[in-house]
A and B are shown apart, each in its own frame.
Chain A
Amino acid sequence: MMVFGVTCACLPSAIPLPPCLGIVPLFGANPFTDPIGLIHYLIVGAVLFTAGVACMALKRNALGILMGIELVLNGANINFVAFSSPYLRAEGTPTLGLDGQVVALFVILLAAAEAAVALAITLNFYNNHATVDVDRADDLKG
C-alpha cells in the first residue's frame, strides 16, 4: 500500500484509479524491509511511461511534448535496467545481462540527439511562427 500509496498520491486526484490494482497483499507486510523486486521497477517504469504519454497528449507547448518524450524514454530505460540487473530477480533467473544496460545507454545517447534536433525544430518553429503552441502548428491537417 505504501508503494501504491505513493503512486496513488502521485496521480492527481482528478484521475480515477482503476480498482484492478488490488494486488497489495502480494508485497508482504512491510515494504521497508522486504527486498525490492522487479515488479516495483516495472511499476515505476509504467508510471513514468504513462505520465510521459499523458504529458505528450496534454501539453500544448512543444517543449511540453518534448518533456513527455523524455519521460517516455526514461520509463523504457527503467524497464531495461530493471530487467538487466541480477539483483532484482530471484537467484539464478536469467536476466538480460549487460544487454539491458547497453540498450539503456544507447537510449540515453540517442535521446540526447533526438532532443537536440527536436529543440532545433521547435526553435525554428518559434522563430517562424512566434509561438510554440502546438495547436497552432496544424498546417499538415487533412
Chain B
Amino acid sequence: MDLESLLPTLLGLAWLLPLASFVIILFAGPRLGDHGKGAAGVATAAIVGSFVLSLVAFVSWVAEHPVRAVAHGDHGEAHASADPAHGATGHAPAEEHGHGETGHAAAPPHSSGDWYTLYEGGRLKLSIGWYIDALTVLMFVMITFIATCIHVYASGYMHDELHDITDHEVHLSDGGHLHRPGRFHRFFQALSLFCFSMLGIVIAGNLAMVFIFWELVGICSWFLIGFYYERKSASNAANKAFIVNRIGDFGMLIGLMALWGALGTLHFADSTGADGHVRQGLFSQVRPPDTGHFQRVPDGLVKFSAADRVAAVLKEHADDPRAGVEKVEAKVEDWRDEGYGRWLLLIAGLGIFCGCVGKSAQFPLFVWLPDAMEGPTPVSALVHSATMVAAGVYLVGRFYPVLTPDALLVIAYVGAITLFISATIALVANDIKRVLAYSTVSQLGYMMLALGVGGWLAGLFHLVTHAFFKSLLFLCSGSVIHACHTNDMRKMGGLAKVMPWTSGTMLVGCLAIIGAGVPFLDIGLSGYYSKDSILAQALLFSRENPSHSILFYAVAGGAMLTAFYMFRLWFMTFAGEPRDHHVHEHAHESPPVMVYPLVALAILAVVSGWTLPGGFGIANMLEQARPAGTGETELGRFLFSGLVVPAEHESHAHDIHVTASLVAFATAATGVLLAAAMYVWRVISPAAVAAAVKPVYTFLANRWYFDEIYRFLFVLPVLGFSRLVSGVDKGLIDRFIEGLAWGAKQVAGFDAWIDRTLIDGLVNGTANATWNAGYELKKVQTGQLRQYVMFIALGTVAIFVLAGLLFRSSIAG
C-alpha cells in the first residue's frame, strides 16, 4: 500500500477526529473532569491528532511529488514540473500540447474519489468524497496547526468559564448582573465541530459537499460568536453573521443549481463508475483536456440554454429518436459558436463567488465580521481571521478554472472596493479587535483582487501567510484584553514593558502584515513575499489593461493604510505613556500556556514566506496545485471583450518584480513613519487631524454608515412592510372576520328567536291546548251513573231526531 493511496485515509481520519471529540464532549461534556475541564483536553488531543495526520500526509505528498523551484525569475516558459500524477482513481492526464501557447497542459496531480454515495439517479450523483491535491494538503496542515495553537491558548483563556460567572455586561431587569454556571465544555464542543466542518470544506470532492460544510461552518460561527448569548450585542452579532452568510449562500445556491441543472454533476474531478463509464467532472467539462484545457462553454450549458433548438431538432426526428440525439450532438458546436450558454457559465461563476463574498466578508456583505468580535478572542483568531473567512478565497481558488475572465474582473473590483473601505474604517477604529477585524477584511480584499487579476498563486499564497500572522495578532490582542480587561486602545499604552512577550510577538505580526522586507535582497517576513506577488500581478494586469489600472493604485494605497493603522494600533497599545493607570497596574503578562502559541505563530509568521534553496516553499508547493489551463493568458471574449488576463508567470519578470517590491516598501515605510509621528513622537496630534477633516473622520468613525445604509435599505423596508402587512391584516382581515362573526351572531340570534317563539310556541301551544281541552272535557265525566244514563238517553233521542229530520224521505216510505 503505497503512501499515495494512504492520502484519502489519512486526511479522512484527520478530518473526522474533531467530529469524534465533538460527539464525546456533546454527550459527556459536563462530566469530563470537574466542571467539564477535561473537554479542553479531549478537543486539543483530537486536533493535535489530526495535525499529526496532516503532517504525515504532507510528508507523503512531498515525497511523492518533490517540490522544485518554479521559474520564479525571468524565463517565460513553463516546464512540466509535475511528472505524470496518477491518483488512486485519478486519470492519467494525457499530455499533449494542443493549444497554441505552451499552456500548462498537464492537469495538477490530485486524488479524488467517493467514500459514500448518498444518492445516485441517472446522471445526478450526490456523494461524500474527496479531492486532494497540493493545496488541500497544505490547507490541512495550516488549519490544524493554527487550530492546535488556539486550542492550547483557549484552554488558558477560557478558564473563567470553569466556575459560576457573573456576567457584568448583562443587566437584568432588576438591575443586577446575570449569574450563570460556566460553559467551558460547550466552547470546546463548538470549536471541535468548527474544525471538523472547516476541514470538510477543504477536503470536499464536490460542490454539494462543500455547500453542506459551508453551512455547518456558518452554524459553528453562529455558536461561537453567540457564546455569551445572554449579552444582547453577542446574540445580535451572531444572528447578523449568520443571516449575512445566508444571503451570500443564496447566490451560491443559484450558481450550484445552474451547474447541477446543466452539467448534471458537481464533482470537481472525473470519476469512473463501476461499469467503467467515465463521468466527467466540472474541470474537464469546462476545460476539456483534449483541447489543451482551453476554457470553453461546456456542451451541457450550451444544450441547456439552446433548449428550444434542441426541441425543434428532436421533433424533426420524432420518428427516430436516436438519430435526433446524434443530430443534436452535431449541432452543439455551432450553437456554442453562436454564443449559447455563455451567460449561464458567467452566472454559475459569479453565483459561487457570491457565496464567497458572504463567507469572506467582501464588499457588500462585510458588515458582520467587525460585529463578530463579540465572540471570545480565540474564536476571532481561529474563525474570523484564519480559517472560515479564508474558506471563501479557497473556494474561488478551487473553482478558478470554471471562472471566466469577466467573472475574474468582477472579483477583482469587489476585492479592491472591500480593501479600500475596510482600510479607511480601520484608521479611526479605537477597539483593538475592531481594528484587526477591519484589517482582516482588507487583507481578504487583497486576496480576492489578486485572484481577480489572474494572480492564482499570489492570492492563495497570501491566504496562507495571512492566516499565520493574523491569528498571531488576534491572540496577542486577546492576551492584552485578558490582561487589561478592556478592548479600548485609548485606555491602553505603554504595555510593552509590562507584557514583553505579547508586545514582541505583536510587533512581529505587525511587520509581517505590512510586508516588511528588503526589496533588493528579497528578504523579508512572510507578508513581504505574498503581498509583493500580489502587487506584481496587479501591476502586470494594469499594464495589460490600462483602463483597469485603478486596481494597482488601490493595492498600493491599501498597503500604505495597512501599515499606518497597524502601527497606530501597536504604538497606542504598547508604546508611549499608559493612558489609564488603573488598567496599567492591573496589566500583567499572560500565563505561559497563552504565550507559547504566540511564539509558535510568530516563528511561522516569519518563516512561512521563505523558499528554501532547494525550491521547497509554500509558493512552489501551491504551484503544483495550479489548475490545468490557468497558467496562460486568457482573453475576455464576452462582456469585457478587450480584457487580457495576464499569465501569472509573466509577473515574475524582473522589472515588474522590482518595481512592485519598491512600491511596497515605500508605502509601508510611509505608513509606519506617519503612525510613529502621530502616536510616538506626537508631532501630529490625531485629535487635530480628526478635527481638521471632521466630516471625513465622523464618516469613517461611523463605518461609512454601512450599518445605517443596510438598515435603511433592507431592515426598515422589511419592518415597514411587515408593519404594513400586519396593519392590513389587523385592519382589514381581522375586521372582516370580526364582521363575519358579528353577522353570524346576529343571524344565530334571530334564528334562536324564531326557534323559541315560533316553533316552541307552536309546539307548546298545541300541547297546552290539548291539555286544557282534555281538562275541560274531563268535567263531563262526573262519576254520577245517573247522569251517564241521562246522556245516553238524550243522545239516542238526538240521534233519532236528527236521523228523522235528515232522512225524512226514507222513514216515511
Contact = CB atoms under 8 A, between A and B. Distances in A.
| Contact present between A and B (CB < 8 A) | yes
Interface of A: 53, 56-60, 65, 68, 134-135, 137-142
Contacts of B613: none
A59 B786 CA distance: 7
B778 interface: yes
Contacts of B781: 140-142
Given A57-B790, A139-B783, A142-B779, 17 more contacts: A56-B785, A56-B786, A56-B789, A57-B789, A60-B786, A65-B789, A134-B784, A137-B785, A138-B784, A141-B782, A141-B783, A142-B777, A142-B778, A142-B780, A142-B781, A142-B782, A142-B783
A142 B793 CA distance: 21
A65 B780 CA distance: 20
A53 B789 contact: yes
A57 B783 contact: no
A140 B788 CA distance: 12
A65 B785 contact: yes
B791 to A, nearest CB: 9
Contacts of A141: 781-784
Contacts of A65: 785-786, 789
A53 B790 CA distance: 8
Given A142-B778, A142-B779, A135 B784 contact: yes
B789 A138 contact: no
A53 B793 CA distance: 7
Contact of A57 (B777, B778, B780, B793): B793
B786 A58 contact: yes
Interface in B40-54: none
Contact of B783 (A59, A68, A138): A138
A142 B778 CA distance: 5
Q: Which 5 A-B pairs have the closest CB atoms?
A: A138-B783, A141-B783, A142-B778, A142-B781, A56-B789
Nearest to B777: A142
A59 B785 CA distance: 10
A101 to B, nearest CB: 26
Contacts of A134: 784-786
Contacts of B786: 56-60, 65, 134-135
A13 B782 CA distance: 30
Contacts of B777: 142
24 contacts: A53-B789, A53-B793, A56-B785, A56-B786, A57-B787, A57-B789, A57-B790, A58-B786, A59-B786, A60-B786, A65-B789, A134-B784, A134-B786, A135-B786, A137-B783, A138-B783, A138-B784, A140-B783, A141-B781, A141-B783, A141-B784, A142-B777, A142-B778, A142-B780
Nearest to B776: A142
Contacts of A57: 786-787, 789-790, 793
Contacts of A59: 786
Interface in B760-813: 777-787, 789-790, 793
Contacts, number: 41
Interface of B: 777-787, 789-790, 793
A134 B779 CA distance: 18
Contacts of A68: 789
A60 B787 CA distance: 11
Nearest to B794: A57
Contacts of B787: 57
A127 B784 CA distance: 20
Nearest to A54: B793
Contacts of A140: 781, 783
Contacts of B784: 134-135, 138, 141
Contacts of B785: 56, 65, 134, 137
Contacts of A135: 784, 786
Contacts of A56: 785-786, 789
A138 B782 CA distance: 7
A120 B318 CA distance: 116
Nearest to A49: B793
Nearest to B778: A142
Contacts of B790: 57
Contacts of A139: 783
Nearest to A58: B786
A23 to B, nearest CB: 16
Nearest to A50: B793
Of residues B778, B783, B787, which shows the largest number of chain A Cβ atoms within 10 Å of its Cβ? Answer: B783
Of residues A56, A68, A139, which shows the largest number of chain B Cβ atoms within 10 Å of its Cβ? Answer: A56
Nearest to B779: A142
Nearest to A55: B789
Nearest to B786: A57
A107 B773 CA distance: 40
Nearest to A139: B783
Contacts of B783: 137-142
A14 to B, nearest CB: 17
A134 B787 CA distance: 11
A53 B780 CA distance: 20
A97 to B, nearest CB: 24
Of residues A53, A58, A135, A142, which shows the largest number of chain B Cβ atoms within 10 Å of its Cβ? Answer: A142
Nearest to B791: A57
A68 B785 CA distance: 12
Nearest to A60: B786
B788 to A, nearest CB: 9
Of residues A57, A58, A60, A138, which shows the largest number of chain B Cβ atoms within 10 Å of its Cβ? Answer: A57
A53 B789 CA distance: 7
Of residues B778, B781, B786, B787, which shows the largest number of chain A Cβ atoms within 10 Å of its Cβ? Answer: B786
A10 B787 CA distance: 24
A57 B787 CA distance: 6
A49 to B, nearest CB: 10
Nearest to B785: A134
A65 B790 CA distance: 12
B801 to A, nearest CB: 12
A139 B780 CA distance: 14
Contacts of A60: 786
A137 B780 CA distance: 16
A135 B787 CA distance: 10
A138 B783 CA distance: 4
A57 B790 CA distance: 5
A56 B786 CA distance: 6
A139 B785 CA distance: 11
A34 to B, nearest CB: 26
A41 B778 CA distance: 41
A132 B341 CA distance: 126
A60 B789 CA distance: 12
